[in-house]
Structure formats: structure tokens, C-alpha cells
Chain A
Amino acid sequence: MTVSILSVMFAAVISDNIVLSQYQGICPFLGVSKKISSAAGMGFAVIFVMAVSSVFTWLAYNYILLPLELDYLYIIAFILIIASLVQLTEIIVKRFSPTLYSALGVYLPLITTNCAIFGTANSAVVYSSYAFIETFAVSVATGVGFLLAIVLLACVRLKSDRADIPKCFKGFPITLVTAAIMALAFAGFAGILA
């Protein structure tokens, strides 16, 4: 049991990375990776919201939607849970830790449309029907994988944004090519867990 959780977590962080091999959460990955500090802020916000939303979506799916045979409504239910959790997090953080709020500020509302959150809740709770502990562990690990990917990309962009490259490659195109090389590197870990 613990071994399987650990291997699933390792896969979620490295070899099956949410951004680089499952293509989810690419918008913030490209958009908020200009500076290392903002990339890290976004990464931690995602870990937090992902962990909390996995708890609530799991409970809602297994104790409300399934018993009432309303599971076809899971898209609406999950997105509402995530949107209200993000709103709630914003209010709580604003009230109790203004410094953290100003650090995360802009990134918190953006998380609602981060497909990594919704996608992870979806795949762990609905498609894989994991148990509660597994769902939580996988969600945290997926968040850590997102943090790793976005911070690494921000480090590379510090250099690539200042490099002398063709004008048409400036900005997003060169970032995408960078991400491709990172994805190749991460894919190299896939063999470890065979």
C-alpha cells in the first residue's frame, strides 16, 4: 500500500509530470514563468488549492453525487467546488496573512481556470476512483510536480529571454521550444519505475 502510494507520487512529480507529460496547466506554466519568485508563488498556491480541492471533490463525489446517482453532474459540481474554494482561500489569506496575500495576490483567482486542478480532481476521483488517502497524496504530488516544472522553466527563461534569438521566436515560441526540451528530459525518468 505505502509502496504503491510512493511510486504513484514519484510518477506524479517526475515521470508523469502534470505539465510536461500530461499537458495540463500549460497556460499558467507559460504565462507566470517570467520571474522565479512569481513562478514559485504560483506553484505553492497550486499545491495548496489542489490538496484542499482534492479533499472536497472526493467527499462530494463519493458521499453526495454517487449515492444520489447524480454522478453525471460531476463537471458542474467539481468546478463549483474549486471556484468557491479559491474564493474562500482568497478571503482567508487576505484576513489572516496580508503579506502572503500580496505575494500571491494576482495568482489566486487565476487558479480557478488552471486546468491542472480540475484535471487532477477529475482523473483521481472519477476515472481512477482512488481511495481518500491516495487521492490526497496524488494531488499533493501533482502540485509539487507543477511547482518543479514552473520554477525550472522560470530559471531557464532568465537566460533565454535575454538571448539573441530571431525576432519571431521572442516570447512564447522560444518558451515552448524550451518546454519541449524539458519534457524530453522528464520523459527520460519514465524507465525508472518500470
Chain B
Amino acid sequence: MDKAKIKETVLGGIIKNNPTFVLVLGTCPTIAMTTSLSQAFAMGVATTFVLIFSNLFISLLRGLIPDKVRIPCYIVIISTFVTIVRMVMQRFMPDLYGTMRAFIDLIVVNCIILARAESFASCNKPLYAALDGVSVGLGFTGALCLIGIVREFLAGGSFAGIAIPGFPAMSGTGASAFGFIVFGCLMALFNFIIQKLEARKEKMKRASLPLFDGKAEIVKEGTEK
């Protein structure tokens, strides 16, 4: 096991390759299932479960799956785990399942899962693949919860179902269109923070360089990861 690779895999899915804010994949549940924190969290956990196990199994079978029919093979593996999630939710959480059922089925066509299968699980060892599933899943769940918190606060004036005194509900913010706006603004905020951090890093790097000329620029590019 290589410590650097573990660190890179774990941090990659949460920040650098955040599926929601950076890669902009799996946007349908991101907008549809974030009207409240509890719903967003459930959606995130369900997707994470499918992501971890499909990554693990695709990685285990990566030597057996022929290249030409790999997409159908991945889809069968993914849909098996989606069916498991659907059955478990239907049995143990019937209320939640009732409100989310269309989008639980749609996990099977969530492009995050297929993208991770294609770009990571199919060419990495099982343990790394499962770890990648955990990390990307966490990144997805975190982003969903964030949007859920903002939308629930605006539309209902509450946090996780508990009303916050002094903050009445804003009428109209429960409308479907509001999901797009909140998602767009949060993504802009994410971009803003990343851009600021990068600008700061650049500045510090420049300050530490001995010469501030064309040569320094080349050195900078070489040392960048």
C-alpha cells in the first residue's frame, strides 16, 4: 500500500474531483432530491453504497470483462446494487422510499457511477477502487447535504426538520426552479473559493522564488503537481 496514493484517492473525490461542483456529474438527483437535508442525506448514502460496491466488483472483475462489452457489464453490476438498495429501502424505510422512489431507480443511470467505473475502477486494484467509491460518495453526499441545508432553510425556515425561530419560510423558494438557482450559486461560491486559494498559492510561490522573470515562470510550471 502506498500512502501517497491513498491520500490522493481519498482527497481527490472530495475536493479536486468533487463530482457535483467540479465535474458536474449526476446533476439530476442533485437538484431533485435536495429539498430537505434528510432527503439529500438519504440520496447521498444510497448513491455512496452503490458506488463503493460497484467500484469494488468492477475492479475485482476487471481482468475478466472483455473490453468491447464492458459498458453493458458495468451496467448490470450497477443495476444489481441499485435493485438491492431499492428493496432494502422499500422494506425498512417505506415512507422515505415513497417520496424518493423514482430517483432511487435512477441511480442506475447516474453518470458519476459509470464514470468512476470507466475511469478508475477498471484500471485500479480493488482496495483503491473501494476507497475511491467512499471518497467520491462522500464528496457527493456532502455537496447534496449542503444544497439541502440551504434549500430547506430558505423554503421552510428549518434545519433538518427543526424550525429555526425568527426565520419564517420564504414563499416561492419551494418552487422547482429554486433548485437550479441554489445549485448554481453554490457552485459559483465553490469556484470563487478555489480561485482565491489558487491565486494565494501562486502569490506565495512567486514570493519564494529568487528571480521574478521569465525563468521563474518556467520553474514554477515544472514544480506544479
| Main SS class of interface, A | helix
Of the residues B111, B177, B192, contact of A27 by C-beta under 8 Å:
B111
Is A145 in the interface zone, CB < 8 Å from B?
no
Shortest C-beta distance, B194 to chain A (Å), equals 9
| 1/0 contact string of B183-198 vs chain A (CB within 8 Å) | 1110111011001000
Shortest C-beta distance, B43 to chain A (Å), equals 12
| 1/0 contact string of B94-128 vs chain A (CB within 8 Å) | 00000000100110111100100000000000000
User: Is A27 a contact partner of B32 (Cβ separation < 8 A)?
Assistant: no
Is A83 in the interface zone, CB < 8 Å from B?
yes
Of the residues A31, A119, A181, contact of B102 by C-beta under 8 Å:
A119
Of the residues B31, B109, B111, contact of A79 by C-beta under 8 Å:
B109
User: Is B176 a contact partner of A168 (Cβ separation < 8 A)?
Assistant: no
User: Is B180 a contact partner of A180 (Cβ separation < 8 A)?
Assistant: yes
Is B76 in the interface zone, CB < 8 Å from A?
yes
Size category of the binding interface on chain A? 35 or more
| Main SS class of interface, B | helix
User: Is A79 a contact partner of B187 (Cβ separation < 8 A)?
Assistant: no
Bound form: Cα–Cα A26–B33 in Å: 13
User: Is B79 a contact partner of A75 (Cβ separation < 8 A)?
Assistant: yes
| 1/0 contact string of B5-33 vs chain A (CB within 8 Å) | 00000000000000000001111100110
Of the residues B110, B111, B188, contact of A166 by C-beta under 8 Å:
B188
Is A58 in the interface zone, CB < 8 Å from B?
no
Is A173 in the interface zone, CB < 8 Å from B?
yes
Is B75 in the interface zone, CB < 8 Å from A?
yes
Shortest C-beta distance, A119 to chain B (Å), equals 6
| 1/0 contact string of B61-73 vs chain A (CB within 8 Å) | 0000000000110
User: Is B102 a contact partner of A30 (Cβ separation < 8 A)?
Assistant: no
Bound form: Cα–Cα A179–B184 in Å: 9
User: Is B108 a contact partner of A168 (Cβ separation < 8 A)?
Assistant: no
Q: Determine, out of B82-90, B135-143, B153-161, B203-211, the stretch whose residues face the partner at the interface.
A: B82-90
User: Is A24 a contact partner of B176 (Cβ separation < 8 A)?
Assistant: no
Residues of A within 8 A of B184 (CB): 169, 172-177, 179-180
Residues of B within 8 A of A26 (CB): 27-28, 31
Q: A21-B176, A26-B31, A180-B184 are in contact. Are A172 and B79 (CB under 8 A)?
A: no
User: Is B187 a contact partner of A173 (Cβ separation < 8 A)?
Assistant: yes
Shortest C-beta distance, B100 to chain A (Å), equals 13
| 1/0 contact string of A105-133 vs chain B (CB within 8 Å) | 00000001111011100110001000000
13 A-B residue pairs with Cβ-Cβ distance under 8 Å, sorted by A, are: A23-B31, A24-B32, A27-B28, A75-B86, A83-B71, A84-B72, A122-B102, A168-B189, A169-B191, A175-B184, A176-B183, A180-B179, A183-B176
Binding site for A on B (CB under 8 A): 24-28, 31-32, 71-72, 75-76, 79-80, 82-83, 86-87, 102, 105-106, 108-111, 114, 175-181, 183-185, 187-189, 191-192, 195
5 cross-chain pairs, A with B, having the tightest CB-CB distances, nearest first:
A176-B184, A180-B180, A183-B177, A23-B32, A168-B192
18 more CB-based (< 8 A) A-B contacts, given A75-B79, A119-B105:
A26-B31, A27-B28, A27-B111, A72-B87, A76-B83, A80-B72, A115-B28, A117-B109, A118-B105, A123-B102, A168-B189, A173-B185, A173-B188, A174-B188, A176-B184, A180-B178, A183-B176, A184-B175
